[in-house]
Each structure stands twice: as C-alpha cells, then as structure tokens.
C-alpha cells in the first residue's frame, strides 16, 4: 500500500519515513480508509539493532506501510547520514492524538499485549480519560503465536486500529505473519505503552523528552533494560558510523558482537 507515503531515510537498511506528527496522523487516517489492512511500526536504535539478529524482522520492517522515528538516536543517525527526519514520534505521544481523532471519527480500538490484565487496566484508564472512546476489545500478550481463536476474536470486533504491545521482534513478526488474515484497518505496534496508558509507569517531563533523555528515565524505572541502552546505543552508533563511511552500505553483523535482545 502506498497511500500518502513520505520520503524515507535509509538507516542501516531500514527505510524510516520523514514524518511530522501532523503528516503521520494524516497517513494513519489514509491507511485506515484504504481497502485492506495496513501495518505501522515505530523505529528506534533497539529495533534496528535487532534486525542484525533476526533477518526475518528486517524483511518485515521493509514491507511495512508506515515506519516512523520513535527515538532520538534515529533522528541523530539520519542527520549524520545526510538525511533529515523532522520529528521524534514516540508511540506514547501518538496515542493521545489518535484517541482525540478516534472520538471525532468514531475509530474503534483493540488493545492486545502485556501480562494478563494490563490491557484491560489500560482500557479502563483510557475510557476515563477519553469518555466515549470506542474500545472494542482487549487481550493479553501471552498467547501462542498461532492462536487462531484470538484472530477470530479480533475479527469479530473489527477494530480500525489494533494496538499490539508485545515487544520486538515478536510484535512485528506477529503482525507481519497474520496481518492479512485480520479484518482491521491498521495494526500499530506499541511495545510497553500499555503500562504508561494504565498509569503504572510515569514519563519524563516533555522538556527532557524533547532533549532525547527519555531512555535514561526508562532505564532508571526498568533497570533490566540496561543492555538495550548501555550496550545497544553504542553498537548502533558504530553501525551508523560504518554505514556513512562505507558509502551507505549496511555493515554485516560480526560473529563475536554481543546480543542486545
């Protein structure tokens, strides 16, 4: 599907769209209105690092209808490589804007992911914050990858946006595998966003988020993610440096480098 697609910047083989919040929301609306289902994924340093571990993950990203910059490191990488991504578009910042759009357009949401009960708590909080929001279903993320009754449950609800929060690469691989069998307008992956929507995790102030320090706050709140940031960010930087000086070529994975999954 190529509805209102933006210019893309190649970052280590991943074509990240050059969107502002307004142009991204316009594209989301166009994808929902177009026939057939579509998929949208946020891209950050961790996501791109994972493509070196999972070739099928890279393939799924390249086939997406919408990829946007969900990380300050991706913005900086684009500038270093001679491109420009105008805005960091964290999925958690996209959520309230789409909730407001949904109230006006009548969009239907389905929340899929997290431990049992989390999607329901996120939905309850969203209903209180956005009275009238049409949340047509929830389900936890601890299901078999080939859970056909779950597909039937989603299809019966017929959401306009299916929010999938299961972490990468699982959420993207699941969306890529089953997207064509789902009767949804758009699958939008969202990682751990349900914890924030439910009020169980706080966010850094907008001032410091704009300066690119949200990852530090996330690390403080969830120390178990340390490899993702303290190993993954330098590794991503080295790969981007190599891409620039190899004429844009994606540097292959070396046999001895650490895993960041």
For residue range 162-208, what is the model confidence (pLDDT) as tens digits? Answer: 999 999 999 999 999 999 999 999 999 999 999 999 998 765 456 54
Q: Pick from 248, 259, 252, 258: which is nearest to 77 by CA?
A: 248
**Helices 72-80 + 232-245 axis angle, to 10:** 20
Tokens of 99: 């909730």
CA distance 29 to 87: 19
Q: Evaluate whether 140 touches 114 at the Cβ level (below 8 Å).
A: yes
Residues 6+ apart with CB under 8 A from 115: 140, 141, 142
CA angle 70, 18, 105 (to 5 degrees): 75
Burial of 170 from C-beta contacts in 10 A (0-12 / 13-18 / 19+): middle
In angstroms, the CA 247 to CA 225 distance is 32
What's the predicted TM-score (pTM) here? 0.87
Distance (Å) of CA 29 to CA 19, 25, 97, 178, 185: 14, 6, 12, 21, 9
CA angle 223, 198, 137 (to 5 degrees): 125
Q: Residue 129 has which token pair?
A: 């914050």
Rounded CA separation 155/109 (Å): 12
The helix, strand and coil proportions of the chain, stated in percent and rounded to the nearest 5, come to 50, 15, 35
Residue count (the chain): 261
Dist CA 119 CA 135 (whole Å): 11
Query: In angstroms, rounded to a whole number, what is the distance separating the alpha carbons of residues 252 and 71?
Result: 22
User: What residues contact 134, with CB distance under 8 A and at least 6 apart?
Assistant: 102, 106, 107, 108, 109
What CATH architecture applies to the domain 8-197? 3-Layer(aba) Sandwich (3.40)
Q: How far apart are CA 138 and CA 119, in angstroms?
A: 6
Distance from CA of residue 235 to its chain's centroid? Answer: 21
Report the distance separating Cα 3 and Cα 141, nearest Å: 30
Q: What is the pLDDT along the chain (261 residues), one digit of tens a residue?
A: 444 467 999 999 999 999 999 999 999 999 999 999 999 999 999 999 999 999 999 999 999 999 999 999 999 999 999 999 999 999 999 999 999 999 999 999 999 999 999 999 999 999 999 999 999 999 999 999 999 999 999 999 999 999 999 999 999 999 999 999 999 999 999 999 999 999 987 654 565 455 555 655 455 455 555 456 677 889 999 999 999 988 766 766 644 343 333
């Amino acid at each position: 599907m190529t509805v209102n697609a933006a210019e893309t910047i190649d970052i280590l083989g991943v074509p990240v769209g050059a969107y502002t919040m307004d142009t991204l929301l316009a594209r989301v609306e166009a994808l929902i209105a177009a026939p057939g289902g579509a998929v949208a994924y946020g891209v950050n340093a961790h996501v791109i690092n994972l493509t070196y571990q999972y070739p099928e993950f890279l393939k799924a990203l390249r086939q997406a209808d919408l990829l946007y910059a969900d990380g300050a490191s991706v913005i900086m990488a684009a500038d270093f490589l001679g491109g420009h991504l105008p805005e960091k578009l964290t999925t958690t910042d996209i959520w309230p804007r789409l909730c407001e759009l949904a109230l006006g357009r009548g969009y239907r949401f389905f929340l899929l992911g997290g431990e049992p009960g989390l999607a329901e708590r996120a939905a309850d909080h969203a209903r209180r914050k956005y009275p009238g929001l049409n949340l047509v279903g929830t389900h936890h993320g601890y299901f078999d990858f080939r859970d056909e009754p779950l597909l039937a449950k989603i299809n019966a609800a017929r959401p306009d946006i299916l929010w999938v929060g299961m972490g990468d690469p699982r959420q993207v691989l699941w969306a890529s595998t089953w997207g064509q069998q789902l009767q949804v307008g758009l699958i939008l992956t969202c990682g751990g966003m349900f914890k924030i929507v439910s009020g169980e995790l706080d966010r850094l102030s907008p001032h410091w988020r704009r300066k690119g320090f949200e990852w530090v706050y996330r690390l403080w709140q969830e120390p178990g993610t340390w490899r993702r940031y303290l190993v993954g960010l330098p590794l991503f930087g080295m790969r981007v440096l190599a891409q620039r000086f190899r004429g844009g070529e994606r540097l292959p994975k070396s046999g001895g480098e650490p895993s960041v999954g």
